[in-house]
Amino acid sequence: MANTILVGAQWGDEGKGKIIDVLTQDADVVVRTQGGNNAGHTVFIGEKKYVLHLIPSGILRKEKACVIGNGVVIDPIGLVEEIKGMEKLGVKINRNLFISETAHLVFPYHRELDAQREVLKGKNKIGTTKRGIGPAYGDKAARTGLRMIDLINPERFERQLKLKIKENNEILKAFGAKPLSFAKVHTAYREAGDFLKKFVTNTVVYLHNATEQNKNILFEGAQGTFLDIDHGTYPFVTSSNTTAGGACTGSGIPPHRMDLVVGVMKAYTTRVGEGPLPTENNEISDLLHGMGREFGATTGRARRCGWFDSVATRHATMVNGIDELAVTNVDGLDTVDVVRVCVGYQIGSKRYDYIPNDIDVLTQCKPVYVDFPGWKHPTDKIKSWKDMPPRAKTYLKALADLTGAKLRIVSVGPAREQTIFL
Ligand code: GDP
Ligand code: IMO
Ligand code: MG
Per-residue pLDDT of the chain (422 residues; tens, 9 = 90+): 689 999 999 999 999 999 999 999 999 999 999 999 999 999 999 889 999 999 999 999 998 999 999 999 999 999 999 999 999 999 999 889 999 999 999 999 999 999 999 999 999 999 999 999 999 999 999 999 999 999 999 999 999 999 999 999 999 999 999 999 999 999 999 999 999 999 999 999 999 999 999 999 999 999 999 999 999 999 999 999 999 999 999 999 999 999 999 999 999 999 999 999 999 999 999 999 999 999 988 888 899 999 999 999 999 999 999 999 999 999 999 999 999 999 999 999 999 999 999 999 999 999 999 999 999 999 999 999 999 999 999 999 999 999 999 999 999 999 999 999 99
Mutate to test the pocket of ligand 1, among 19, 20, 42 (most ligand atoms within 8 A of CB): 42
Residue 92 near residue 62, CB atoms below 8 Å: yes
- Would you list the DSSP string of 91-112? ---STTEEEETTPEEP-HHHHH
Nearest to 374 by CA among 281, 293, 276, 307: 307
The verdict on the CB of residue 227 being under 6 Å from ligand 2 is yes
Q: Which CATH class is domain 104-196?
A: mainly alpha
β-partners of residue 347 are 350
| Ligand 1 cavity residues, CB under 6 Å | 8, 12-18, 40-42, 44, 297, 328-329, 331-332, 411-414
Residue 172 near residue 113, CB atoms below 8 Å: yes
Specify the amino acid at residue 203: T
Q: What is the DSSP letter of 368?
A: E
Per-residue model confidence (pLDDT) at position 188: 98
The answer to pTM > 0.75 is yes
- Quickly name the fold that domain 4-99+201-261 has: Adenylosuccinate Synthetase; Chain A, domain 1 (3.40.440)
Q: Please state whether beta strands 104-105 and 217-220 pair in parallel, antiparallel, or not at all (unpaired).
A: unpaired
Provide the residue ranges of all domains of the chain, joining segments of one domain with +.
Answer: 4-99+201-261, 104-196, 265-421
Residue 64 near residue 254, CB atoms below 8 Å: no
Residue 411: phi and psi, rounded to 5, are: -110, 130
Per-residue model confidence (pLDDT) at position 1: 65
The rounded distance, in Å, linking the Cα atoms of 366 and 351 is: 9
Domain 265-421 CATH (choose: 3.90.180.10, 3.90.170.10, 3.40.50.2000, 3.30.465.10): 3.90.170.10
The rounded distance, in Å, linking the Cα atoms of 388 and 330 is: 11
Residue 74 near residue 54, CB atoms below 8 Å: yes
Within 10 angstroms of residue 180's Cβ, the number of other Cβ atoms is 18
Mutate to test the pocket of ligand 2, among 128, 236, 305 (most ligand atoms within 8 A of CB): 128
The verdict on the CB of residue 193 being under 6 Å from ligand 2 is no
Ligand 2, atom 16, residue with closest C-alpha: 238
Per-residue model confidence (pLDDT) at position 298: 83
Residue 334 near residue 293, CB atoms below 8 Å: no
